[in-house]
Amino acid sequence: MMNNQRLTCPKCGSTNVVKNGHDKYHNQQFLCKHCSHSFKLFYPKKHKNFSLNFSFSYPKCPLCGKTLEIHKIRRAFVVFRCRSCHFKDRIPLNLPEPTTFFGQPFKYFRYPIFIVLKAFVLYFKFNMSLRAVASSLNLPVSHVAVYKWIVRLASMFPIFVPENVFKVHGDETVVVFKSSKYYVWFLVDHNTNLILAWHVSRYHDASQVRILLNKFFSLHSNSSVELITDGLGAYATAANLFFKNINHIFVGLGRNNKCESKFSLFKDFVRLKRCFKKFDNLASYVHAFCVVRNLFKLHADFHSVISALYSIITTS
């Protein structure tokens, strides 16, 4: 390809060649401006940036982006910790192969289900972008693959709710999508602070409250509950017309803290994601947000949440 120290295109033989960046293995690429053919001078074997002691590179902190340092070494995993924000992450020693606990890789994905569920939880719990999630995995995964994982898993898991519920809080908030308003409704348990039911609608009336309450009573059919809401009249109308086992209680604006705290977290999630790019995913994202938030109420450990999600997949 080189005659008299001049670089020529291997396809057309032109010498009008310029540099065209590097590939993911830091090899120089060239572009022929005559035929638009991209090529490299040589194609070495793919090399991976592995650490000296482990078969994987050190992970990065999902909060600050710094490389984690080793905190503890166990027989089956290594605990990494961020020196700045003290975030901890546990990595099995046999990545990227599936660990003994998690068994076979998930049917539709190339990577073990541990990796897929970790990306799913990072996206909804820590409000990370798709590119930040892909970077924190320290695997050759693109942000498009992470997006496909999240969309497919978003509607797979049920919401974890308690059995005996006697007092619930209801409220709604507005999400703007392409200059149109959509309403997101939540029902939150008074004792456990878990999200019991959700609903996404285009309208703001008693019929939407009825759909929300029907979702709740589909899981708690014989229960009589107290419904605590703010001043929206649609709640009282729906409770009086369609439900005989609801005792509606009105509280002033700003005093319905159980739901308002959830909506503050949901608003942060929407704002950091720069709203939603596709309306079909809105309901799935709301459902997955409720699933992950409830699991972190029930399990304080990050890996216990992943284990709970994995048990649902293996059972189903």
pLDDT in tens, the chain (316 residues): 444 467 888 888 888 999 988 876 677 889 999 999 998 887 665 544 434 456 567 788 878 888 888 888 776 678 888 988 888 887 766 544 433 334 444 555 778 888 899 999 999 888 888 889 999 888 889 999 998 888 888 888 888 877 788 888 888 888 887 778 888 899 988 888 888 999 988 888 888 888 898 888 888 776 688 888 887 888 888 888 888 888 888 887 666 666 777 777 777 777 766 656 677 788 888 899 889 988 998 887 888 898 888 888 766 5
pTM: 0.63
Q: How many CA atoms lie within 13 A of 284 on its CB side?
A: 17
Tokens standing for residue 164: 């005996």
Strand 225-229 to strand 167-177: parallel, antiparallel, or no bridges (unpaired)?
A: parallel
Q: Judge contact between 190 and 168, C-beta under 8 A.
A: yes
Tokens standing for residue 176: 């703007």
Closest to 173 in 3D by CA, of 277, 280, 289, 295: 289
CB atoms within 10 A of CB 71: 15
Angle 292-297-300 from CA coordinates, rounded to 5°: 95
Strand 225-229 to strand 246-250: parallel, antiparallel, or no bridges (unpaired)?
A: parallel
Closest to 282 in 3D by CA, of 196, 207, 177: 177
